[in-house]
Structure 1
Amino acid sequence: MTLRPVKILVVDDEPDMEPLFRQQLRRELRAGRFELDFAGSGCEALKRIDDDDPPRVVLVLSDINMPGMSGLELVARLRPRRPGLAISMVTAYDDADTRARAQANGADRIFSKPIDFGALKIYLEQLMPA
């Protein structure tokens, strides 16, 4: 039986994030371990999650500061829709207040920019099915 790749939804309004993630995770993508999807806004991410039926996304990795719906609002709206979904935030402003607000809204983990892709890969391994 072949396992399906772990699907990750990256939410960021910066268009350069997609090539960065594809480059940093290229070995895992080529091996079929991960599948990446991208949303440029919180609203687009909510639609992707609502359309994810049957659910395949196992991680939403969202920037906190985005125009329109912030990542903090996104995580607060995602949590009731998919209680078991892993949701991590990415921030350029890694301070105690930002971490506390993200966790209070339902974030499981916070990554600082620039993203430590080594740490992200370790985290992704923990999300892989046994």
Structure 2
Amino acid sequence: MSVYILVVDDEPDVEVLFRGQFRRDLRSGRFRMEFATSALGALRRAVEIRDGSLILLLSDINMPGMSGLELLSVVRAKRPDVPVIMITAYGDAETRRKAIERGAEGFLTKPIDFTLLRREIDMRLEHAA
């Protein structure tokens, strides 16, 4: 079974950045990454992947339309089995508190520390195995 990581960010260059950082993993089939440019698109995809193969959702907080924090609340209600890590350029204490209160399992600030993110992904892959 393929496992998926869903990345949600309205910035188009995020997909290129993530694919570059994880190119070996993606090429080897260790996991798959899907990308959504809106919270609604991500929510639709998170609900579609129902077989337990969605092991992590990474979401930007500041997006037009539905924010990442709003997405977090809905995902936690519809897919409580999927861990969510929030990503933001603004790592203030209030935003972090709101994310944790709404069920985020982690919080990353931009620029993303990909070494830290890789450790988080490795842990999720071990749990999925």
Instruction: List alignment gaps of at least 5 residues for structure 1.
Output: none
Q: Is it true that 1:9 corresponds to 2:12 in the alignment?
A: no
The 2-side partners of 1:29 and 1:71 are apart by: 25
Partners of 1:45 and 1:19 in 2: CA distance: 17
Distance in 2 (CA, whole Å) between partners of 1:28 and 1:5 is 12
- What SS does structure 1 have at the residue aligned with 2:66? coil
SS of the residue corresponding to residue 89 of structure 1 reads strand
> How many residues get paired?
127
TM-score by length of 1: 0.93
Deviates more, 1:57-66 or 1:24-33: 24-33
Q: Is 1:64 the equivalent of 2:61?
A: yes
Please identify runs of 4+ aligned residues in structure 1 that moved more than 6 A.
none
What SS does structure 1 have at the residue aligned with 2:81? coil
Matching residue within 70, 75, 81 for 2:72: 75
Identical amino acids, percent of aligned pairs? 50
2:113 is the alignment partner of 1:116? yes
Q: Secondary structure in 2 aligned to 1:115?
A: coil
Report how far residue 52 of structure 1 moved.
1.3
In structure 2, distance between residues paired with 1:42 and 1:112: 18
State which of 100, 105, 113 in structure 2 corresponds to 1:103: 100
The more displaced of 86-95 and 53-62 is: 53-62
CA distance in 1 between partners of 2:50 and 2:73 (Å): 20
1:53 shift after superposition: 3.1
Deviation at 1:56, TM superposition (A): 1.9
**Residue ranges of structure 2 left out of the alignment (5+ in a row):** none
Over aligned residues, Cα RMSD in angstroms? 1.1
Q: Is the 8 A contact 2:25 2:31 kept in 1?
A: yes
Q: 1:40, 1:86 → 2: CA distance? A: 19
Give the structure-2-normalised TM-score.
Answer: 0.94
Q: Tell me the distance in 2 between the aligned counterparts of 1:55 and 1:33.
A: 16
Residues 17-74 of structure 1, C-alpha deviations (whole Å, 9 max, x = no match): 0010000001111121110000110111111012113342111100000000000000
